[in-house]
Amino acid sequence: MQYFPIYLDTHTLKVLVIGAGEVACRKLDLLSRTQAMIEVIAPEVCAEVQHYAAIGRITLTQREVTLDDLSERDLIYIATANHTLNLSLAAKAKELGAWVNVVDTPAACDFITPSIIDRDRLVVAISTAGAAPIYARDLRGKLEAMLPNSLAPLFDFIAQKREEVQQLLPSGAERRRFWERFFNTNGERFDSNTPQRYQQCFTEATSQGELLLIDVATPAQLLPLAALPLLQRIDRVIALAEVTPELQELLRRDAERAAPMSDSELVSAWQHGQRILLVVEDGELARLKAAFPFAKHLRPGAI
């Protein structure tokens, strides 16, 4: 990937925006939602930027930018109408250690600002690295329709409860199971019954885990959509054959890569709530299906 997605803590971030026209204003519409300290420098300022200054969200300086203005900044957005000036300022700002975004000039950027869906604590960023912005826009529209506004108060509630869950459920696996139960029970809504559903999830634990089987020759891209959440819940991956990069991409990043286990060890792990994926050759797959009738076989078009 050309651009690595990263989320910055903005509460001490010093941001400079050079230019105060329509393009700069689009950047401010997003930046103003953060906790960053924002200064805008430009000789001419549009009404929207004036509004941000009037409500005290930005510091506005109406004059031409100087090289001294580039010092001690974390992020700098350069959005003047002078392309040559933009490139000159970008080069100097980089020398001074700032990350630079030159609007509409990707080759001069250290970072880009993706299309963003904002649900307060939930933020989804979408980028095609500048190749297909229309597709990114359309995808954002689809995701906006899928993600209800009730997610904002729901995630505020979850943030308040995380420490309590950590104290009551000391292991990471227990906490994952708890939050899975919570979302399965509560869904994406936040209402007066959400606290009650939260409490119920402490007493509705299931003891048995899952055992998933997949033939190493199965193309990951042909797996049904229903297989994807199963793979994301896996605790252990036991690979008796090499895992393809395509399948690896569908697994949890922190899933344990474990050594082979005997049949009795697999049964014991399953009974104790472990979720295990076995990646095997075709011959071993047939044996495992006979030995473990409760196992789920992931294959194209079915589970």
Beta carbons within 8 Å of 75's beta carbon, 6+ residues apart: 13, 14, 15, 16, 36, 98, 99, 100, 101, 111
Q: Are 66 and 54 in contact (CB under 8 A)?
A: no
pLDDT at 102: 96
Which residue, 121, 128, 124, is CA-closest to 157?
121
Regarding whether 221 and 181 lie in a shared domain, the answer is no
Regarding whether 71 and 39 lie in a shared domain, the answer is yes
Report whether pLDDT(172) > 90: no
CA distance 77 to 40: 9
Q: Which domain covers residue 174, as residue numbers? A: 151-200
> Residue 188 — φ and ψ, nearest 5°?
-100, 5
Report whether pLDDT(189) > 80: yes
Counting the structural domains of the chain, the total is 3
pLDDT tens for each residue of 149-161? 899 999 999 999 9
Q: State mean pLDDT over 282-295.
A: 94
Regarding whether 227 and 196 lie in a shared domain, the answer is no
Mean pLDDT of the chain: 93
CATH of the domain at 74: 3.40.50.720
pLDDT at 208: 74
Q: State mean pLDDT over 20-45.
A: 94
Q: State mean pLDDT over 49-67.
A: 96
Report whether pLDDT(203) > 90: no
Structural domain contains residue 141: no
- pLDDT tier for residue 17 given thresholds of 50, 70 and 90: very high
CATH of the domain at 237: 3.40.1010.10
Structural domain contains residue 130: no
Report whether pLDDT(276) > 90: yes
Report whether pLDDT(132) > 80: yes
pLDDT at 206: 64
Supply 250's token pair: 């569908």
Report whether pLDDT(2) > 90: no
Report whether pLDDT(9) > 80: yes
pLDDT at 301: 78
Supply 209's token pair: 């885990």
- pLDDT tier for residue 241 given thresholds of 50, 70 and 90: confident
> Residue 169 — φ and ψ, nearest 5°?
-125, 95
pLDDT at 207: 63
Report whether pLDDT(205) > 70: no
Q: State mean pLDDT over 268-293.
A: 93
Q: State mean pLDDT over 235-259.
A: 90
- pLDDT tier for residue 97 given thresholds of 50, 70 and 90: very high
Which residue, 78, 84, 126, is CA-closest to 99?
78
Q: State mean pLDDT over 266-278.
A: 91
Regarding whether 42 and 71 lie in a shared domain, the answer is yes
Final residue belonging to a domain, choices 140, 172, 200: 200
Tracing tokens 């869904």 back to the chain, one arrives at 187
Final residue belonging to a domain, choices 85, 113, 141: 113
- pLDDT tier for residue 196 given thresholds of 50, 70 and 90: very high
Neighbours of 246 (CB within 10 A): 12
- pLDDT tier for residue 11 given thresholds of 50, 70 and 90: very high
Structural domain contains residue 3: no
Regarding whether 224 and 191 lie in a shared domain, the answer is no
Cα-based distances in Å from 121 to 32, 147, 150, 152, 231? 15, 13, 12, 6, 25
Final residue belonging to a domain, choices 90, 113, 136: 113
Beta carbons within 8 Å of 254's beta carbon, 6+ residues apart: none
- pLDDT tier for residue 32 given thresholds of 50, 70 and 90: very high
pLDDT tens for each residue of 60-85? 999 999 999 999 999 999 999 999 99
Bridge partners, 213 (sequence order): 278, 297
pLDDT tens for each residue of 206-232? 667 899 999 999 999 999 989 999 999
Report whether pLDDT(88) > 70: yes
Report whether pLDDT(1) > 90: no
